Structure 1
Amino acid sequence: MATRREQTSGESRELILTAAAELFAAKGYRQTTFADVAERSGISRGSIPWHFGSKEGLLLAVLESSLDLVRAGLGDGSGPSTEAGLDRMTAHLDALFAQPTTKLFVTLLVEALEPDSPIHGRYVAIHDTLRDHCKRWLDGLPPLPGVSTEALAVAIVGAGIGIHAQWLVAPDRVHIGQSLAALRALVAGLMPRT
């Protein structure tokens, strides 16, 4: 059983992670300071390096926590190859791109592409998780002639990331809900009916 001190430390850590994730998603990694995180979380600035060592350590912890949330939120991805499976596929796309972490992942993507980025490996894992989950759903549906499930999973995840990127750049011009609905309709329209 955790002591009160351990419980308080865990609560502080979660408050810091939540605040940092929100700020990284809104402002990006480089523009976010420990002072910003302390103000948003209500936890002292000095506690942040105590918990995470450095700003990079905080970023890696945020990404790891976010990836865990994505994995938990997406479930196992299995589904029968029936009409219900197609309905589940569209529900899966909703779940895949409605995660609160999606904005964070898209915002930090450019930083992950930089040479020697400390988050590059985490992004490989994030994209692997999204593609693997999507592929498991596709494996439960009739195959699309001439297209591998791996390639279709890459296209679906790429489209979702692209929609979010356009929305982040011009939220007044891109309606994310309608755009994701269009993606779902396109995928559903491509899938052969059994």
Structure 2
Amino acid sequence: MVRMATRRAETTEESRRLLVAAAAGLFAEKGYRQTSFVDIAERAGISRGSIPWHFGNKLGLLKAVLDDRLQTVLTGVAPPGDDRSGDPLDQVMDFIRLPATRLFITLLAEAVEVDSPIREHYAQLHSALRQAVQSRIPAGAVPAGTTPEAFTVLLVGAVIGVHAQWRIAPEAVDLEAVQAAIRALALAGPRSG
């Protein structure tokens, strides 16, 4: 009996994982609104009735996808105090290169619409990204004349903008040069007259 329950739980978790992966790929390719349950079920190889059973509705599935991708991104960035943590700007630029981040750019266009069903989830996502970045900024690294919060918004905003440009035209965006430019601007400090 225990063995059957364990196997059922494993199957349920595997179905959930397959649905999240399929939805993430389709949302990145087609957008949230243009992706249907049928599309997701076909890609996952699972009955479309499994989607509401696992997630309640399409918005619940989107939240699971965003949570999954955010965790993928955050585990790719070293936590504060970790030997790998190093420079927060290096980590932020590494964020751009992660395959999981393509989804964030695809959905951004939908999220900025006032009536978008994903707007609130995106606001939470950006909040989590700002918290993650801010927690990794070493003491003394915030330029004079600004606050850690404003500096974090600048870094996250720069990354989002650079990321969008790089995804659209990677041959036109030299990520290393952009990183050097952000570093130069961030470390320049206040300018006089």
TM-score (norm 2): 0.80
- Letter aligned with residue 191 of structure 1: L
Query: How far 1:74 sits from its partner (Å)?
Result: 2.5
- Cα gap change, 1:157 to 1:167, in 2 (>3 Å): same
Q: Which moved more, 1:27-36 or 1:140-149?
A: 140-149
Which amino acid is 2:169 matched to? Answer: P
Relative to structure 1, is the Cα distance of residues 188 and 172 closer, same or farther in structure 2, using a 3 angstrom cutoff? Answer: closer
Distance 1:118 1:78 in 2: 37
Q: 1:77, 1:134 within 8 Å by CA — same for their partners in 2?
A: no
Aligned to 1:171: 169
Partner residue of 1:42?
A: 45
Which residue matches 2:160?
Answer: 161
The equivalent residue for 1:183 is 178
Cα separation, 2, equivalents of 1:115 and 1:89: 32
- Tell me if structure 2 keeps the 8 A contact 1:79–1:88: no
Q: How do residues 67-146 of structure 1 correspond to structure 2 at under 5 angstroms? A: 67-78=70-81, 88-146=87-145
Q: Secondary structure at the match of 2:136?
A: helix
- Secondary structure in 2 aligned to 1:138? coil
Paired residues of 2:130 and 2:156 also in contact (CA < 8 A): yes
Q: Distance in 2 between matches of 1:100 and 1:141?
A: 32
1:5 corresponds in structure 2 to 8
- Deviation (angstroms), 1:124: 1.7
Letter in 2 for 1:130: L
Where does residue 65 of structure 1 map in the other structure? 68
Aligned twin of 2:191:
none
The alpha carbon displacement at 1:60 in A equals 2.0
Unaligned runs of 5+ residues in structure 2 are 189-193
AA of the residue aligned to 2:127: D
Change (3 A) 1:32 1:156: same
Q: Any idea what the Cα deviations from partners look like across 1:9-38, whole Å, max 9, x if unmatched?
A: 110110110110011011101111222212
In the aligned structure 2, how far is the partner of 1:172 from the partner of 1:135? 27
What are the ranges of 5 or more consecutive residues in structure 1 without an aligned counterpart? none
In 1, Cα distance between equivalents of 2:80 and 2:183: 16
List per-residue Cα deviations over 1:67-96 (Å, max 9, x = no partner).
23333332423479xxx98x5334312333
Query: Is the contact made by 2:69 and 2:101 (CA closer than 8 Å) also made in structure 1?
Result: no
Contact 1:78-1:136 at 8 Å conserved across structures: no
- Tell me, yes or no, if structure 1 residue 151 matches structure 2 residue 150: yes
Q: Which stretches of structure 1, 4 residues or longer, exceed 4 Å deviation after superposition?
A: none
The one of 29, 34, 45 equivalent to 1:31 is 34
Considering Cα pairs closer than 8 Å and 6+ residues apart, tell me whether 1 or 2 has the greater RCO: 1
